[in-house]
Structure 1
Amino acid sequence: MLTLTENAQTAVNEIAASADLPQGGGLRIAPSASQPGGLDLGLAPEPVPGDQVIETGAVPVFVEPQASEALDALTLDTAPAQPGQPGPAFQLTPQAATA
């Protein structure tokens, strides 16, 4: 299952708060319709039936079933800010191996 770093969850919480997302809403990750092999991240008022729901903080993350398998062994983190970037950037990294 996709995991989130503390930095990523903080960024998700801040984005949702600034967007005045309704209670129960969250960040949704789904395959990109415009960029083959890419992912789209966006705010959603609720999960779509079949979404995997990851609740690690105040705002849940919804992962579309088709994206869920590809993200299964990854961690969502924030990337260093770039000049002129309007908000946080997210990056996916392999999950640390557990002993």
Structure 2
Amino acid sequence: MLAITDTAAEAIKSLTSDAELPDGGGLRIAATDAEEGLELSLAAQADQADTVLEGEGLTVFLEPTAAEVLDDKVLDVQPFTTPEGEEELRFAIGPQA
């Protein structure tokens, strides 16, 4: 099952709070096209086939293909410097230890 670091959990809570999602809303991770990678979006609720991960004030919905791909992965947030020199945070996926 996908593991989520504390840093990623805080980022997800911040995103969902800022978006003023209804209770039960969360971050949705989908693999709509295997060649395009994963797509992250905010969703008011899970799709019927989604796997739902809940804990410590956050909710993550995994589309079935994404759940399979992420089964042995960890979701983290890492700093990134843009070509313009600006610092931003980005979600990153790595192997579980």
RMSD, aligned CA: 1.7
Which residue identity is paired with 1:72? D
Residues in 1 aligned to 2:9 and 2:39: alpha-carbon distance in whole angstroms: 17
1:84 alignment partner in structure 2: 86
Instruction: Classify the secondary structure of the residue corresponding to 2:91.
Output: strand
Instruction: Classify the secondary structure of the residue corresponding to 2:69.
Output: helix
Identity of aligned pairs, percent? 40
Structure 1: which 5+ runs fail to align? none
Instruction: Check whether the contact 1:4–1:56 (CA below 8 A) recurs between aligned residues.
Output: no
- Ranges of 4+ aligned residues in structure 1 off by more than 4 Å: none
Instruction: Classify the secondary structure of the residue corresponding to 1:69.
Output: helix
Residues in 2 aligned to 1:70 and 1:7: alpha-carbon distance in whole angstroms: 21
TM-score, normalised to structure 1's length? 0.85
C-alpha deviations, 1:14-45, integer Å up to 9, x for none? Answer: 01111111110000000145x72400000000
TM-score, normalised to structure 2's length? 0.87
Residues in 1 aligned to 2:90 and 2:55: alpha-carbon distance in whole angstroms: 19
Aligned residues: 94
Structure 2: which 5+ runs fail to align? none
Residues in 2 aligned to 1:2 and 1:21: alpha-carbon distance in whole angstroms: 22
